[in-house]
Chain A
Amino acid sequence: MISASANSVAAKTREAVLSVRDLTVSLPAGMERPYAVESISFDLVHGQILCIIGESGSGKSVTANAVMGLLPRAIRVVSGSIRCDGSDLVKASPEALRSLRGRVVSMIFQDPLSALNPLMTVGDQITEVMLAHDEGTAESRRARAIELLKEVGLPDPTLMYHQYPFRLSGGQRQRVMIAMALALEPSILIADEPTTALDVTTQAQILKLIRDIQRRKGMSVMFITHDFGVVAEIADSVIVMEKGHIVEQGSAQQVLKSPSHPYTRRLIAAVPRLTGEDRSLPHADDRETILKVENLTKVYRSGSRFFGTERVVKAVQGVSFDLARGRTLGVVGESGSGKSSLGRLLIKLMNSDGGRILFDGQDIATLTEDAFRPVRPKIQMIFQDPFASLNPRSTIGHILTVGPVSHGVPYEQARKDAQRLLEHVGLDAGAFGRYPHEFSGGQRQRVGIARALMFKPQLLIADEAVSALDVSIQAQILRLLDQIQRETGVSMIFITHDLRVASQICDEIAVMQRGRIVEQGPPSQIFLNPQSDYTRELVAAIPGERPEPGHPA
């Protein structure tokens, strides 16, 4: 049973609007476990926000989809009941379920970029909900849609009504999704990771919007997330799921402050803390500069100058910074800030339009591909997606040795190095002969790190290297990178959108906005005493707890 939280309303509203009892959902044969979720029970209390949190594969999304009756055909509910609006959704006919969807229970999804039909205007997609349930006339539906667009805080609702989704930003599209979900004033809103794909400031706005609307309308919200920061922001009560089971449920206060189950405790411990503490590294006096970037600039051009349709995007504008040997510079920013472009310039995956990149005293910005080739092994990259960055047809051994061998290292030696490095990054040396698909995401990212280290690089560029990983794995990889840096003295540029992650591993942090570095300094400055407005805004938007100022730096 869920205890109502302090801010929930009167006692008479504490009845459950949704009751899940002993729900078991099967997975197709051959999966890692027979059930996606196994005999789970919980109540969604009227007027509350219930967060279901878990890592990938915990069954949290399956639970949400089961309520909506939107499970893929191969995944079936085997037993249990979902009681809502006086009927059991598990036994309901497809037509009965259809009439509930959008009217009594609405849902919003993770990726607002793909959740709207690209061929229909925003207005058509909103009025379609009302049309599907035979509500109102064409005129009243239109008026209601514009009213909804205003309600979710979109600018110029009348214009927005006629707009196609591709013209809208991610945050705006998520607002459209919310408007659509609210069209018929449903009593339950299911939100499946609705802010995961958004920038941190946009995330903060959307969370606030959901919170406001929920309060105003007294809706009940089932909020699926993997982020304890989000839970802390929004939840009244919390369910923690692990591998298809509910391991803990209770009020937000109780679960966050005094978790009882070891898994919850592990999960909370793994959440990157915004430390606001500076890193302490040995050789603090060793300040030799390995990388000096001066006034680096990159401009993207598209369209045609001839036909007057040229578009110019200044991705990187006059960026300058120094990086000392054995140190880590974090580059943080929202999407479109130019942080990834900067990374690609530094490793010369593309050429800059101006400025200098002094690596070990040599300007590599102007080098030709041939002249840069001998330097390339010294600068290595760790990529974001551990699934896409390893060739599925190559063995781990091949992936690790092919680079050094092409740079003239004898195969025998490359093989020995590879096996040593595999053990170093926490994998078995036997991984050498195996293929990427035999490994989990976290293990693959270890392979990616080993691959980069094969060249004994002096500079590692990690582009969102932990963004695709679950928090517990994320924490392990961050520890590994920290350990490697302490042992090998490699310098690192750590590009991320997640300020909490940056606060864990960086000596210095550069905040980027629209191609410029707006602020640079140690974590203590960035998080506790930000100098620029933009940094302040970013830090304020971080979900969850705040570091206490005055903490020893």
Chain B
Amino acid sequence: MFGYLLNRLWQSIVLLVIVSIIGFAVLNLIPGGPLSQFALTPGMTQEAMDRIAEQMGLNRPLPVQYLDWAWRLVQGDWGTSYRDGQPVLNVIGRHVFATLLLMGTSTAISIAIGTWIGIRGATHRYSLFDYTVTVGAMIALSIPTFWFGLVGIYIFSLKLGWLPAGNMYTIGDGSALNYLRHLIMPSVVLSLVNVAIWSRYMRTATLDVINQDFVKTARAKGLTERRVLMKHVVGNALIPMITLAGMQLPGLLGGALVTETVFTWPGMGRLFLDSLGYNDYPVVMGLLMFSAILVLIGNLIADLVVAAVDPRTRLD
């Protein structure tokens, strides 16, 4: 068990190094660079630009800049935002809660509804229900998230006025109810695609299990259909889904980026886009590393959970 964890940790570190190198290189390949924001300042001379570059350490060779950045990162200094001079970790910290709130709610919705639809679709295969959700899933998968967001805002905010069109809370009103009202639309929109994906996988996983011999054994024992389904079918069908949940995390982060923009949700996704627009490289790199770590942790947790519930993979 300890050896396994050590191994995984080692792999994760190698992955993070690769991700950071690629991220760093790509950012510096983009024309412009951090200095371009000063270039437009009236009266800016080349000398002044060089001096700024010198101060910021931007005139050094790229590998040196990278190593310097990486060394500070390891020590806990993630750099300073070019935009407002705040430490990067503080900037990210201000936005983490919003994103985790949105992602957590949406994941909970997707898993609960998707699992139910998947199981029902498998046990009632080729029924009206199955066909309806299959078509529904196709529609949800083929229409971009932002379209659902815009239509939602148009109907529920502009026409009906039931829900707020954006932001996480009304300024001056920090009540839970207020947060909840703001949370409903973005999390439902973000869930649409994930319910579709999750229910399709769950349906397949359930169908795989439902035809196995041990399900027949369970029926032959005289168990009620309900117990056969809940204890023998669903238990086994959920195991591949745990791994899938770990793998879906990056997708969720990507989806949050679009959703946060549409609903002006003050999360990491919007911070990423804004920082990119400002050439605020320390924040962009910080966000990149932060989400990479999040994804690795998600996968690790998924693997550990599988090991805990499936005796065949239990590590000893």
- State which of A49-57, A94-102, A145-153, A469-477 sits at the interface with chain B: A94-102
Is B83 in contact with chain A by the CB < 8 A criterion?
no
Query: Is the interface on chain B under 10, 10 to 19, 20 to 34, or 35 or more residues?
Result: 20 to 34
Compute how far the CA of A166 lies from the CA of B224 in the bound complex, rounded to whole angstroms. 25
Expressed in whole angstroms, the minimum distance between the Cβ of B229 and any Cβ of chain A is: 13
Is B221 in contact with chain A by the CB < 8 A criterion?
yes
Residues of B within 8 A of A102 (CB): 220-223
Residues of B within 8 A of A13 (CB): none
Asked if B222 and A115 make an inter-chain contact with CB atoms under 8 angstroms apart, the answer reads no
Of A101, A307, A309, the residue contacting B220 (CB under 8 A) is: A101
Compute how far the CA of A306 lies from the CA of B6 in the bound complex, rounded to whole angstroms. 12
Compute how far the CA of A449 lies from the CA of B232 in the bound complex, rounded to whole angstroms. 42
Asked if A103 meets B217 with Cβ closer than 8 Å, knowing A119-B235, A304-B3, the reply is no
Residues of A within 8 A of B232 (CB): 117
- State which of B165-173, B208-216, B278-286 sits at the interface with chain A: B208-216
Q: How many A-B residue pairs have CB under 8 A?
A: 79
Expressed in whole angstroms, the minimum distance between the Cβ of A350 and any Cβ of chain B is: 26
Is A409 in contact with chain B by the CB < 8 A criterion?
no
Asked if B214 and A180 make an inter-chain contact with CB atoms under 8 angstroms apart, the answer reads no
Compute how far the CA of A111 lies from the CA of B309 in the bound complex, rounded to whole angstroms. 24
Asked if A166 meets B312 with Cβ closer than 8 Å, knowing A100-B222, A128-B223, the reply is yes
Residues of B within 8 A of A100 (CB): 222
Within 8 A of B (CB), among A325-348: none
Asked if B213 and A98 make an inter-chain contact with CB atoms under 8 angstroms apart, the answer reads no
Asked if A115 and B214 make an inter-chain contact with CB atoms under 8 angstroms apart, the answer reads yes
Residues of A within 8 A of B225 (CB): 94, 98
Is A255 in contact with chain B by the CB < 8 A criterion?
no
Compute how far the CA of A100 lies from the CA of B239 in the bound complex, rounded to whole angstroms. 32
Asked if A132 and B221 make an inter-chain contact with CB atoms under 8 angstroms apart, the answer reads yes
Is B219 in contact with chain A by the CB < 8 A criterion?
yes
Asked if B216 and A109 make an inter-chain contact with CB atoms under 8 angstroms apart, the answer reads yes
Select from chain A the residue with minimum beta-carbon distance to B3.
A307
Asked if B219 and A101 make an inter-chain contact with CB atoms under 8 angstroms apart, the answer reads yes
Asked if B213 and A128 make an inter-chain contact with CB atoms under 8 angstroms apart, the answer reads no
Compute how far the CA of A128 lies from the CA of B7 in the bound complex, rounded to whole angstroms. 39
Residues of B within 8 A of A99 (CB): 222
Among B7, B218, B220, B309, max chain A CB count under 10 A is at B220
Is A299 in contact with chain B by the CB < 8 A criterion?
no
Compute how far the CA of A202 lies from the CA of B162 in the bound complex, rounded to whole angstroms. 70
Within 8 A of A (CB), among B300-316: 309-312
**Binary per-residue interface labels of chain A (171-183) against chain B in the complex, 1 for a CB within 8 Å, 0 otherwise:** 0000001001000
Residues of B within 8 A of A164 (CB): 311-312
Asked if B310 and A118 make an inter-chain contact with CB atoms under 8 angstroms apart, the answer reads yes
Expressed in whole angstroms, the minimum distance between the Cβ of A454 and any Cβ of chain B is: 38
Compute how far the CA of A70 lies from the CA of B211 in the bound complex, rounded to whole angstroms. 12
Residues of B within 8 A of A115 (CB): 213-214, 216-217
Asked if B217 and A109 make an inter-chain contact with CB atoms under 8 angstroms apart, the answer reads yes
Asked if B222 and A116 make an inter-chain contact with CB atoms under 8 angstroms apart, the answer reads no
Is B94 in contact with chain A by the CB < 8 A criterion?
no
Asked if A129 and B222 make an inter-chain contact with CB atoms under 8 angstroms apart, the answer reads yes
**Binary per-residue interface labels of chain B (225-237) against chain A in the complex, 1 for a CB within 8 Å, 0 otherwise:** 1010001100110
Select from chain A the residue with minimum beta-carbon distance to B316.
A309
Among B214, B217, B218, max chain A CB count under 10 A is at B217
**Binary per-residue interface labels of chain A (108-152) against chain B in the complex, 1 for a CB within 8 Å, 0 otherwise:** 011100111111100000001100110000000000000000000
Residues of A within 8 A of B311 (CB): 118-119, 164, 166
Among B3, B216, B224, max chain A CB count under 10 A is at B216
Is A466 in contact with chain B by the CB < 8 A criterion?
no
Residues of A within 8 A of B309 (CB): 119
Compute how far the CA of A134 lies from the CA of B222 in the bound complex, rounded to whole angstroms. 11
Residues of B within 8 A of A106 (CB): 220
Asked if A132 meets B222 with Cβ closer than 8 Å, knowing A119-B236, A164-B312, the reply is yes
Within 8 A of B (CB), among A31-60: none
Select from chain B the residue with minimum beta-carbon distance to A105.
B220
Compute how far the CA of A120 lies from the CA of B312 in the bound complex, rounded to whole angstroms. 11
Is A107 in contact with chain B by the CB < 8 A criterion?
yes
Residues of A within 8 A of B213 (CB): 109-111, 114-115
Asked if B212 and A114 make an inter-chain contact with CB atoms under 8 angstroms apart, the answer reads yes
Compute how far the CA of A503 lies from the CA of B139 in the bound complex, rounded to whole angstroms. 62
Is A200 in contact with chain B by the CB < 8 A criterion?
no
Is A511 in contact with chain B by the CB < 8 A criterion?
no
Compute how far the CA of A107 lies from the CA of B222 in the bound complex, rounded to whole angstroms. 10
Residues of B within 8 A of A111 (CB): 213
Asked if A107 and B3 make an inter-chain contact with CB atoms under 8 angstroms apart, the answer reads no
Is A390 in contact with chain B by the CB < 8 A criterion?
no
Is A68 in contact with chain B by the CB < 8 A criterion?
yes
Residues of A within 8 A of B212 (CB): 114
Asked if B236 and A118 make an inter-chain contact with CB atoms under 8 angstroms apart, the answer reads yes
Asked if A128 and B221 make an inter-chain contact with CB atoms under 8 angstroms apart, the answer reads yes
Asked if B221 and A116 make an inter-chain contact with CB atoms under 8 angstroms apart, the answer reads no
Of A98, A109, A117, the residue contacting B224 (CB under 8 A) is: A98
Within 8 A of B (CB), among A471-491: none
Residues of B within 8 A of A180 (CB): 217, 221
Of A109, A118, A304, A308, the residue contacting B312 (CB under 8 A) is: A118
Compute how far the CA of A116 lies from the CA of B311 in the bound complex, rounded to whole angstroms. 13
Of B3, B214, B224, B231, the residue contacting A118 (CB under 8 A) is: B214
Asked if B222 and A101 make an inter-chain contact with CB atoms under 8 angstroms apart, the answer reads yes
Among B3, B7, B222, max chain A CB count under 10 A is at B222
Compute how far the CA of A475 lies from the CA of B212 in the bound complex, rounded to whole angstroms. 32
Asked if A177 and B222 make an inter-chain contact with CB atoms under 8 angstroms apart, the answer reads no
Residues of A within 8 A of B235 (CB): 117, 119
Compute how far the CA of A462 lies from the CA of B3 in the bound complex, rounded to whole angstroms. 43
Compute how far the CA of A269 lies from the CA of B295 in the bound complex, rounded to whole angstroms. 64
Residues of B within 8 A of A68 (CB): 220
Residues of B within 8 A of A98 (CB): 222-225
Expressed in whole angstroms, the minimum distance between the Cβ of A125 and any Cβ of chain B is: 8
Within 8 A of A (CB), among B106-160: none
Of B216, B223, B310, the residue contacting A70 (CB under 8 A) is: B216
**Binary per-residue interface labels of chain A (63-85) against chain B in the complex, 1 for a CB within 8 Å, 0 otherwise:** 00000101000000000000000
Within 8 A of A (CB), among B220-269: 220-225, 227, 231-232, 235-236, 239
Asked if B214 and A129 make an inter-chain contact with CB atoms under 8 angstroms apart, the answer reads no
Among B221, B236, B310, max chain A CB count under 10 A is at B221
Select from chain A the residue with minimum beta-carbon distance to B310.
A119
Residues of B within 8 A of A119 (CB): 235-236, 239, 309-311
Residues of A within 8 A of B223 (CB): 98, 102, 128, 132
Compute how far the CA of A116 lies from the CA of B220 in the bound complex, rounded to whole angstroms. 12
Expressed in whole angstroms, the minimum distance between the Cβ of B125 and any Cβ of chain A is: 9
In the complex, 23 of the A-B residue pairs with CB atoms within 8 angstroms, ordered by the A residue number, are A70-B216, A70-B219, A98-B222, A98-B223, A100-B222, A101-B219, A101-B220, A101-B222, A102-B221, A103-B222, A109-B216, A111-B213, A114-B212, A114-B213, A114-B214, A119-B235, A119-B309, A128-B218, A128-B221, A128-B223, A129-B221, A133-B222, A164-B312
B residues neighboring A (CB under 8 Å): 3, 7, 212-214, 216-225, 227, 231-232, 235-236, 239, 309-312
- Seed contacts A107-B220, A119-B309; 7 additional CB < 8 Å A-B pairs: A70-B219, A98-B222, A100-B222, A109-B216, A114-B213, A117-B214, A117-B235
5 interchain residue pairs of minimum CB distance: A102-B222, A307-B3, A101-B222, A164-B311, A114-B213
